Structure 1
């Protein structure tokens, strides 16, 4: 069953803002950021026309909402 980018971004919004530590200890990414970027890479690999920037902006916008 296909899903929409909006649906996926809404699910990403439900993820916690827990920081994810890099091996070198310098990462400031959160779990939400990490998951959003992973899905964006996978979706672009499946569809080279996929607008990764727009998707990440939508996830960031949704993540900023209360």
Structure 2
């Protein structure tokens, strides 16, 4: 019984550590994307997305 409890605890520890590492990796990648995307690209995306609905509505 003691060995099983120890194994169960180690498995739960491993799962928790893997989940935390995945969360940290996701946060790191999102920060890298925010840093890599320059404001100029964001402005161009907004300008491209803005007129499209107007062009589709007018005709």
Give TM-score, length-normalised by structure 1: 0.30
Name the structure where helix makes up a greater proportion of residues.
2
Give TM-score, length-normalised by structure 2: 0.33
